């Protein structure tokens, strides 16, 4: 290569390097708005494998993922599955979610249910036909941990949430698995995630769940399986789910299965990210 060609090549290399540095700085600045993110290289290998699969090159910093959902759910202590449809918002910048559904109980009654978690506090509000209150629980220790554990299970829908270093601490628990300890104020919970060779999250388990049985919260557990992966705005997320409840007596019930659709990412640099904000009942 001639000296002139070498000079051109060197200038080109320096330009590309500078562009990459500036791009990284810009991403980091935006990402900081979405929460203080951990260095992926410091995380357990299975988690790095997942993040390399789930967050595509050039993906814009994520604030939240919004989606519609439908499926069948078996409530605690029941045997019959109810048809459920609604909307969900999962935050990537902090531990938070908003789950709003309608469940058809019978020909005359439809339960309007809203589950939420934010700032260490969980809540459940359920009304018959949107009028008569059935459940209105908020800021109960068992419920707070349950709803926080739900967020960490749902964080797969907003993959960069797993990098929130102020809230999520990782520990490798096996060659293809890692345990996440989530802390948010006084509330904390644990989740074990298992990944396949390609980095897809195939299973997650948590014993930090409590369910209401005849008005009394009893400790249960959950095993979540996901598939139907799709690229949504630069993030690989599953669109089908199957969740098994470990009952207080140790038996298991496949209690919640269905699909997500009409997924819509909300980015940090959007002028307005409205999220799923249905009218409060």
Q: Among 60, 61, 63, 80, which Cα is nearest to 72's?
A: 80
Q: State the average pLDDT over residues 37-45.
A: 93
The CA-CA-CA angle for residues 268, 62, 168, to 5°, reads: 115
Banded pLDDT at 28 (limits 50, 70, 90): very low
Cβ atoms within 10 Å, residue 14: 10
Q: Which residues contact 105 (CB under 8 A, 6 or more apart)?
A: 82, 111, 128
Per-residue model confidence as pLDDT tens digits over 180-200: 999 999 999 999 999 999 999
Count, residues in the chain: 281
Please give the share of the chain, as a percent, with pLDDT higher than 70.
84
Digit-coded pLDDT (tens) for 140-176: 999 999 999 999 999 999 999 999 999 999 999 999 9
DSSP state, residue 55: B
Please give the pLDDT value at position 29. Answer: 39
Look at residue 276 and tell me whether its pLDDT is greater than 50.
no
Quick one: tokens of 197? 């060779």
Read off the pTM: 0.84
> What average pLDDT does the segment 103-124 reach?
97
What pLDDT band is residue 36 in, cutting at 50, 70 and 90? confident
Q: Which of 36-40, 86-90, 113-117, 198-202 has the lowest mean pLDDT?
A: 36-40
Instruction: Tell me the average pLDDT of the chain.
Output: 88
Alpha-carbon span 280 to 95, nearest angstrom: 21
Q: Identify the band that residue 35 occupies on the pLDDT scale cut at 50, 70 and 90.
A: low
Task: Read off the DSSP letter of residue 200.
Answer: -
CA distances from 182 to 94, 159, 206, 275 (A): 11, 15, 12, 23
Residues 6+ apart with CB under 8 A from 233: 59, 60, 62, 264, 265, 267
pLDDT at 3: 55
DSSP count for the chain of H helices, then E strands: 3, 13
Question: Does 14 score more than 80 pLDDT?
Answer: no
pLDDT in tens, 60-81: 999 999 999 999 999 999 999 9
More confident residue, 281 or 270: 270
Give residue 281's pLDDT. 40
- What the block records as the tokens of 86 is 């609604």
Could you give the percent of the chain with pLDDT greater than 90? Answer: 82
Of residues 114 and 20, more confidence is placed in: 114
């Amino acid at each position: 290569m001639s000296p002139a060609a070498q000079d051109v090549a060197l200038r080109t290399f320096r330009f590309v390097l500078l562009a990459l540095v500036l791009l990284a700085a810009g991403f980091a600045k935006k990402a900081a708005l979405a929460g203080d993110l951990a260095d992926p290289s410091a995380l357990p290998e299975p988690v790095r494998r997942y993040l390399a699969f789930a967050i595509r090159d050039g993906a814009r910093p994520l604030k939240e993922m919004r989606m519609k959902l439908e499926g069948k759910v078996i409530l605690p202590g029941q045997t019959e599955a109810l048809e459920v449809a609604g909307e969900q918002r999962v935050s990537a910048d902090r531990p938070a979610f908003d789950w709003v559904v309608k469940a058809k109980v019978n020909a005359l009654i439809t339960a309007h249910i809203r589950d939420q978690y934010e700032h260490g506090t969980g809540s459940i509000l359920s009304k018959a036909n949107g009028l008569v209150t059935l459940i209105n629980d908020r800021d109960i220790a068992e419920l707070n941990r349950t709803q926080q554990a739900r967020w960490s299970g749902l964080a797969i829908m907003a993959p960069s949430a797993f990098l929130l270093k102020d809230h999520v601490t990782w520990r490798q628990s096996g060659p293809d698995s890692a345990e996440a300890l989530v802390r948010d104020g006084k509330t904390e919970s644990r989740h074990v995630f298992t990944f396949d060779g390609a980095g897809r999250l195939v299973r997650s388990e948590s014993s930090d769940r409590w369910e209401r049985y005849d008005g009394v919260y009893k400790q249960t557990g959950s095993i979540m399986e996901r598939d139907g992966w799709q690229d949504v705005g630069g993030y690989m997320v599953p669109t089908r789910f199957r969740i098994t409840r470990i009952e207080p007596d140790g038996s298991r019930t496949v209690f919640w299965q269905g699909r997500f659709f009409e997924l819509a990412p909300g980015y940090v640099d959007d002028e307005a990210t409205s999220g799923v904000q249905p009218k409060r009942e």
